[in-house]
Structure 1
Amino acid sequence: MRKLILLLLCCVSYVLSAQIKFTNPILSGFYPDPSVTKVGENYYLVNSTFSYFPGIPVFQSKDLKNWKQIGNVIDRPSQMNFMGDGISRGLFAPSINFYKGLYYVTCTLIDRQGNFVVTAKNPVGPWSDPVWLPQVKGIDPSLFFDKEKAYIVYNSDAPDNKPLYSGHRTIRVYEFDPISLKVLGEEKQLVNGGVDIRKKPVWIEGPHIFKHGDWYYLSAAEGGTSVNHSQVILRSKSATGPYIPYEKNPILTQRDLDPDRKDPITSAGHAELIEGPDGKTYAVFLAVRPYEGDFYNTGRETFIALVKWIEGWPIINPDSKEIKYSYVANFKEVKQEDARPQSGNFSYRINFETKLDPALLFLRTQDTSWYKIKKSSGLTLNLLPETCMGTGNPAFIGKRQQHLECKASTELNFNAKTETEKAGLIIFQSEYNFYYLCKSISNKKPVLQLFKGNKEKNSMDLIAEIAVDTGKLYLQIEAKKDKYNFNYSISPNKWKLLKGDLDGKYLSTKVAGGFVGSLFGLYATSFGKQSNNKASFKWLNYEGDDEAYR
C-alpha cells in the first residue's frame, strides 16, 4: 500500500511538473494579425506592423507560451519603406510558412504595390527582397503547401467588382509555384461574402487553408476587426473547393457577451490553428482588452485558446463563452534564454549600450545617420526638423505600451538652444493623438513642457510648463487605463507630478482610428528648423501592473 501511495504521488508530481499555464495575451500590446507555423519543435510567429519600421517581427517559441523576438522580416530600407504613409497604412496581415527548407512570408503593402512574398533559409534572417504578386488582387495572402502543390489564398473584391453591400468581399485562390514565386493558372473564387451571403456578412479576410484528416479546412475572419469580429470555418475534399461552411459558425467570437463584464476580452478573430507540443490543436488570434466599452490603448494583441474537434469541426474555446486570461495544458514549459517577458505583469529596462533592441520601432524607415549608441552616453538622437505629425522619418524610437496600467521612464541629457528644439518622452498613438513630455527653452530659460497633439491646428497645444535646471532630467509617463500622469525628477525615483489625470481615451483606437496601439517613444525635434543639437537617453524603463493579473 505504501509503495502504491508513493507511486501515485510520483505520478501526480510528474503531471503537475509537465503542466504549462498560458497567460493571455501571450504577446501583450500592439501585436495584431498573428500567423504561426511549426517547424520541428519550434514555432515561429509574425504580426502586422503597418507603417512602423522594422516591419513584421519574427518570434520563436518551443511551447507557444514563451516567445522571443529573433528578428524582423522587413529590416532593411532597401526592401521597402513607408515614407509618406499614415501610421495605419503600410504592412497588413503577414502569414508565415515553411516548405522544403525555406521560410515564406506573404503580406500586403497597402496603397502601393500590393501583395508580395519574401523568403529566408533561417527565420532570423536575412529575408529576401520582396517579390511582388500583381495578379493577387486584394489583401491578407497566405500560402498552403499540399504535398507537391502550393496555393495562395487571399481576400479580394466582390464578384465582377460589384459589391451587393458595404463590406462585401470574397476569398480567392491561385495555385502557386514556390520556386519561381509566381502564381499559376487561373484565379478561383472560394467564398462569396462569407458563410451565408443572405445575411450580408462583411469583411471575410485573413484566410488560411490547412488539412486535417481527409478534409481541407478554410478558416477566415468575418465581421470586421472590431467588436463584431469572429472566426468562421469551412471545409472541402479539395484544396480548391467547393467549401461547405460549418452550420454552427462562428467558431470564435465575443460579440454576443455583456460589454460591461469584468476584465473583458473583445474583438476576437483573425485566428490561425496550430498543433501544440501535445499533439492537440490550439488557436492563435487577435483580440483586445478594453478598459471601458470599446476604449483600449494597447492595440490588438496576440491571444491563445484551446481547440476541440467536434464532429469533424475545430471549435475554439468550446468550454467557455468568454476567452480566458489563462489556460492550462499538459505539456512541459520551455523557457527562452535572454527573452523578455511578454505576458502577465512584468518590468524591464532597455539599456542603450551596444545596439538597439529588435522590438523598438521607427516611423516609416530606419536611417542610421541620425542616431548612435555608446555605452558611456546611451542613445543619442540628432534633432531633426521632421515631427511625428508628418509622414516622414522623425527622430523617434518607440516601444509598445503593453499594459492598461504601466509606467515608462527615461534619463534625458539635453539642453535646448532655441524654443523650437525639444527632446523627451512621448506617448504616441497616431500623428495627432499623442502627449509629449519634453525639455526645451522658453524666454531663454530651460523648461519642461507637456504638449497634446491637435489635428485641427496641424500642430500641438502646450498644456503645462515649468522651469527646470540645465543638464540631466528624468521623465516618466504613467498610464492608468483612461488616465495618464506625466512626472519628472532631478534624481532617480523621486518623481514630481507635472500634470495628472489627462484624457487617455484620446490615445484609444476608438478616438484616433486606425489599427495600431500606443507607443512610448524617445523623440527629439527642431520643429521644422535646421539644428545641429543632440539629445541623449541613457535607458528606457518599463513597468506593467494590470489588475487582471494581480
Structure 2
Amino acid sequence: MNPILSGFYPDPSICRVDDTFYMVTSTFEYFPSVPIFKSKNLINWTQIGHCVTDENYLKLSNSKISGGIFAPTIRYHNGTFYMITTDVSGIGNFFVTATDPAGPWSKPIKVDFKGIDPSLYFEGDNVYCNTTGRDTNNNQGIIMARIDIKTGECLEDKKFLWTGTGGVYPEGAHIYKHGDKYYLLVAEGGTSMGHMETIACSDNIYGPYESNPANPILTHRNFIGQIQGTGHMDIVQAADGNFFAVFLGFRLTESYFHHLGRETFIAPVTWKENEFPIINDNQPIATSIDTSKFPGLPMPVEKSFVDDFSDDKLNFRYNFLRKSSTVRYELNHGLTLYGNGVSIDEISTPAWIGFRQTEFNIEAFFHIKAEMKHTDFCGVTIFYNSTRHFDLCVNNNAVCIKKRFDDIRETTFKQFLDDPDANVQAQAKDLVLYIKADELTYYFGFGDTEQSASENIVATGLTRHLATEAAKITFTGVYLAMFVNGEPESKMTVKEIKYNALNQPTNAQN
C-alpha cells in the first residue's frame, strides 16, 4: 500500500482533527498550489482541494524549473487550519488559513522569516515558527521565534536551535511536545540517496537540543532496494494514541533512475513519553504495510480513471504550469484547449493541462480532435520539465514524435495522415493518441480506435531520459499533459481520457 500518494507528491505534512486526518504536499511551479487530502484510516486519501487557488497571491509566472512552492506544513488550532509554506519565486514564507480545509483559504499572510520549509508550533497563547537558517558561525540549521499569528510579525529575536547531525541541508523541521520534552525533527542529507531524518530533544523549546544517539531514525542510504531517499517527515497521533509518520521517498527503476517523482509514504511509530520515537520498528520501508494498528480498515481504490469532461470544473488531479489565467480552455462534454503562442519548451505558461503519472506501468488513451492552423501542432506530452519531454504530436497533415533533452531536439517519427498506411482517416482529424509505459520504456501509438492505436506503436522512449538523475537539480516528477503549441486560432478537443494503472497492487489513493 506504500506509497500512499503515488507520483509527484513530495514533502508531506499531516494533522488530525477528531477522527479525520489532513495532509498537504509541495507543488513547485505547478498550479493550483498545495493539494490537500483527507483520510479516516491513513491509507485511503481523497483530494478535497488546493490551499492556494488564486494565482495573484503568488509569483509563479517568475518561477524557474523546480521553483515556486516548496515544502508546506499543515496545522490545526482552535477551529482554524493553517498551511505555511515558501514561495521561493515570490513572497517568501507565508501562511493561509481556513475553517473548512476544502476552502476557501485566506489571502497569504507573509511571515517575517527568511529560509525555507517553515513550520508552526502552537502552545497556549504562543505560536512558534521555525525555518532553515544559520548560526553565528554560518553553520546551517534551524532557527525559531514566536510570531503574531494574525500578522506574521516576529515577536522576538530568532533563536538558532540545532545544526542537525552533520548532514547537508538540514531542513523540513517540525517541533513536537511529548511528555515533558520538546522534540525537534529535521531532514538532512539532501533529498536524494543520502536523505535521512534525525531528531533531538530538550527540556526547553529554545534548547539546547540533544541529538538522539540512535540517529538517523529513518534513512535508506545504506539499504539496497527500490524505495530510496526517505526523509522529510511529519508525525501525527491518532485518536487511540498510536503514532504514525508520513515522509517522502522515491521508487527506483531497474536502471537506478527515478522519474515518477518523490512520493508520500507512511510507517507506524513507537513513541513513549520522554523517549525518542522509533520509526517502523527500525525496519526498512516496504510497499506492504501492517495495518493492524491503523485507525480503520483500508479499502481498495481503483487508481485508473475515465474522464469525459462532463463536469463544469476540472478534476483536482489536473494542474497548469505556473498559472491558469493565460490558458484558454472550455469544458462542454470534452476539454477544448486553445493555443496561446507559448511553447512547452519555454519556462513560461504554455497551453498545457496535465496530471501526474502515478505508476511505472500505465496506459492512456486520449480521444482528440485536432484543428490546427499553419504549422501549429498539439497532442500529448510525457513531461518532466520544459527541457525534458516526449511529445506525441498532431498537426494539419501528420503525426510525429518529438523528443527534447536539454539542448537536443529531434523528431524521431513522422507520418502523413493521407498516407494509406497511416491507420487513420485524414479528413476526420479525430484520433486516438496512445501512451503506454513500463519501468524502462514509453511507447507511443495512434489510430482511429483504441485497439488500432494500441496496436500501432510507432516510437519508444527511455524513461531514464525523463529522470531526476538526468535533469540536474530538480524536485518534480512526470506528468501526462495535453498541449497546444500554436496561436489562439488553433485548438484541440479532448473528448475522453482513459488512464489505466496496469498490474498494480491495490493501493489507496483517490
TM-score with structure 1 setting the length: 0.86
Q: Is the 8 A contact 1:57 1:359 kept in 2?
A: no
Q: Which among 462, 476, 479 is matched to residue 519 of structure 1?
A: 479
Listed as ranges, the matches of 1:495-534 within 5 Å are: 495-513=454-472, 514-526=474-486, 530-534=487-491
SS in 2 for 1:170: strand
Distance 1:324 1:415, change over 3 A: closer
Residue 463 of structure 1: which of 407, 412, 417 is its match?
Answer: 412
**Shift of residue 347, structure 1, vs aligned partner:** 1.3
* 1:175 and 2:126 correspond: no
Between the aligned partners of 2:438 and 2:298, the Cα distance in structure 1 is 30
Q: What's the CA shift for 1:547?
A: 6.0
State whether residues 364 and 392 of structure 1, in contact with CA within 8 Å, keep that contact through their aligned partners in structure 2.
Answer: yes
Shift of 1:545: 2.5
- Range that drifts further, 124-133 or 304-313: 304-313
Distance 2:51 2:294 in 1: 30
2:6 alignment counterpart: 28
Query: What's 1:266 paired with?
Result: 228
Q: Distance in 2 between matches of 1:277 and 1:466?
A: 60
Look up the SS of the partner of 2:155 in the other structure: strand
Work out whether residues 141 and 152 of structure 1, in 8 Å CA contact, stay in contact via their aligned partners in 2.
yes
Alignment-derived partner of residue 135 in structure 2: 159
Q: Which amino acid aligns with 1:392?
A: S
Q: CA deviation at 1:520?
A: 0.2
CA displacement at 1:319 relative to structure 2: 4.8
Amino acid across the alignment from 1:272: D
**Counterpart secondary structure, 1:97:** strand
Pick from 433, 436, 440 the counterpart of residue 395 of structure 2: 440
Code of the residue aligned with 1:138 in structure 2: it is G
Describe the superposition over 1:13-40 as per-residue Cα deviations: whole angstroms up to 9, x where unpaired.
xxxxxxxxxx100000000000001111
Which residue is equivalent to 1:452? 403
CA contact (8 A) 1:277 1:331 kept: no
Q: Once the 2 structures are TM-superposed, how far is the Cα of residue 497 of structure 1 from its aligned partner?
A: 3.1
Q: Distance in 1 between matches of 2:143 and 2:104?
A: 30
Q: Does 1:297 align with 2:259?
A: yes
C-alpha root-mean-square deviation of aligned residues, in Å? 2.0
Partner of 1:418: 374
CA deviations on 1:394-414 (whole Å, 9 max, x unpaired) are: 110000010011112210111
Residue 399 of structure 2 aligns with an amino acid whose one-letter code is: L
Alignment correspondent of 2:420? none
CA-CA distance at 1:332 after TM superposition:
5.2
Structure 1 residue identity aligned to 2:304 = S
Q: Distance in 1 between matches of 2:84 and 2:497?
A: 33
* 3-state SS of 1:418 partner: coil
- Equivalent residue number for residue 188 of structure 2: 222
Residue 240 of structure 1: which of 206, 216, 223 is its match? 206
Gaps (5+ residues) in structure 1?
1-22
1:18 aligned residue: none
Aligned position for 1:320: 283
Q: Secondary structure at the match of 2:386?
A: coil
Deviations 1:59-93 (A, max 9, x none): 01111111111110111122224113223000000
Count of residues in correspondence between the two structures? 494
Look up the equivalent residue of 1:297 and give its one-letter code.
H
Aligned-partner Cα distance in 1 for 2:27–2:3: 17
CA contact (8 A) 1:91 1:109 kept: yes
What is the distance in 1 between the residues matched to 2:479 and 2:217?
Answer: 32
Distance in 2 of aligned mates of 1:241 and 1:294: 41
Is residue 538 from structure 1 mapped to residue 501 from structure 2 by the alignment? no
User: What residue number does 2:451 align with?
Assistant: 493
Would you say the 8 A contact 2:81–2:99 is kept in 1? yes
Distance 2:262 2:361 in 1: 16
Pick from 129, 136, 142: which aligns with 2:113?
A: 136
SS in 1 for 2:60: coil
Q: How far is 1:436 from its partner? A: 0.5
Contact 1:102 1:121 in 2 (8 A): yes
C-alpha distance in 2 between matches for 1:58 and 1:283: 17
- 8 Å CA contact 2:246–2:266 kept in 1: the answer is yes
Rounded Cα–Cα distance in structure 2 between residues aligned with 1:32 and 1:331: 22
Match of residue 423 from structure 2 = none
Matched residue, 1:349 = 306
Structure 2 unmatched runs, 5+: 418-425
Offset, 1:293: 5.2
Name the aligned partner's letter for residue 384 of structure 1: N
Deviation at 1:320, TM superposition (A): 1.9
| Aligned mates of 1:176, 1:493 — CA distance in 2 | 60
Q: Is the 8 A contact 1:104 1:120 kept in 2?
A: yes
User: 1:35·1:272 contact (CA, 8 Å) conserved in 2?
Assistant: yes
Counterpart of 1:140 in 2: which secondary structure? coil
Three-state SS of the structure 1 residue aligned to 2:385 is coil
| Maintained 8 Å contact 2:217/2:282 | no
| Alpha-carbon offset, residue 539 of structure 1 | 1.9
In 2, distance between residues paired with 1:368 and 1:124? 25
Q: Distance in 1 between matches of 2:319 and 2:327?
A: 16
**What is the distance in 2 between the residues matched to 1:534 and 1:389?**
18
| SS of match in other structure, 1:28 | coil
